[in-house]
Amino acid sequence: MSARALRLGLPIVVLALVVLCWDLLVRAFAIPPYVLPGPGLVLATLIADAGLLWRSLLVTLTLTFEGFLLAAVGGILLAIAFNQWRLVDYSLYPYAVILQVTPIVAIAPLLLIYLPQPLAVLVCAWIVAFFPVLANTTLGLNSVDHNLLALFELYKASRWQVLWNLKLPSALPQMLTGLRIAGGLSLIGAVVAEIAAGSAGAGSGLAYRIAESGYRLNIPRMFAALLLLSLAGVAIFFTLSAISYLALRRWHESAIDRER
């Protein structure tokens, strides 16, 4: 079997085995659905509650996407500012780190006091997602080949020519790595904020559905919503990986298969 077939096939085999064991376990011990619903029931709930869950998914995904976009733009612009003006770097970098190391779960309730819920969710998604973009882009901008810098200097390139023609393209692989991490994190940020808002929140996102279903002991719906969330995360990861691949396939080693 080819390596490609194994890479696709094996995870599917593992998934089938896990679902099978799960189903057998639930049947064998007659576990009630409010403790652990079987995979069939989860699937049935997913279909039965499709309309409700789909709307919730859209709410969460929209906020995730907006948070991601703001994080991408903010992280890249801030990285450029850090790279261009050392004083900005010195002044702001410590606070970027503080924002990153303070657990988002602890910040979310506070944000919910001051901001309307959708905005608080957005800010949470932004806070967790912007740092990897900032850190990776900064690394990329600072790792430019010194000889290429000398070459640009020899031809009297302006600062912006160096940024646009040399630093940004050369930082692209790291920037895309940052964006790939940020995609997953912005979903986490949005979910954390929705959970923190909890039943008190007026929101209707997917994480809010999970919290609400938990209070109502509607465990099958919790599982269904969780499944959707994790599928959303996987979709985000693959989309960003594909974008990264398309951008780098002609020139960066990470996107090129080794020939033997």
Q: Which residues bind other proteins (CB under 8 A)?
A: 145, 147-148, 150-157, 161, 165-166, 169-170, 172, 250-253, 256
Q: State which residue, 94 or 253, has the beta carbon closest to other proteins.
A: 253
Neighbouring CB atoms inside 10 A of 256's CB total 12
Return d(Cα 7, Cα 120) in angstroms, integer.
40
- Which H or E run contains 112? helix 104-114
CB of 252 to other proteins, least distance (A): 7
Contacts of 55 (CB under 8 A, 6+ apart): 204
Cβ(170)–Cβ(144) below 8 Å: yes
Return d(Cα 148, Cα 154) in angstroms, integer.
10
Q: State which residue, 68 or 152, has the beta carbon closest to other proteins.
A: 152
CB of 135 to other proteins, least distance (A): 22
Q: State which residue, 166 or 188, has the beta carbon closest to other proteins.
A: 166
Q: State which residue, 54 or 145, has the beta carbon closest to other proteins.
A: 145
Q: State which residue, 30 or 154, has the beta carbon closest to other proteins.
A: 154
Residue type, 36: L
Print burial letters for 184-218: b (CB count within 10 Å at least 16), e (below 16): bbbbbbbbbbbbbbbeebebbbbbbbbbbbbeeeb
| 252: helix, strand or coil | coil
CB of 182 to other proteins, least distance (A): 22
- DSSP code for 258: P
Q: State which residue, 67 or 140, has the beta carbon closest to other proteins.
A: 140
Q: State which residue, 51 or 253, has the beta carbon closest to other proteins.
A: 253
Residues in the chain, how many? 260
CB of 241 to other proteins, least distance (A): 19
Return d(Cα 116, Cα 120) in angstroms, integer.
6
CB of 259 to other proteins, least distance (A): 11
| 156: helix, strand or coil | coil
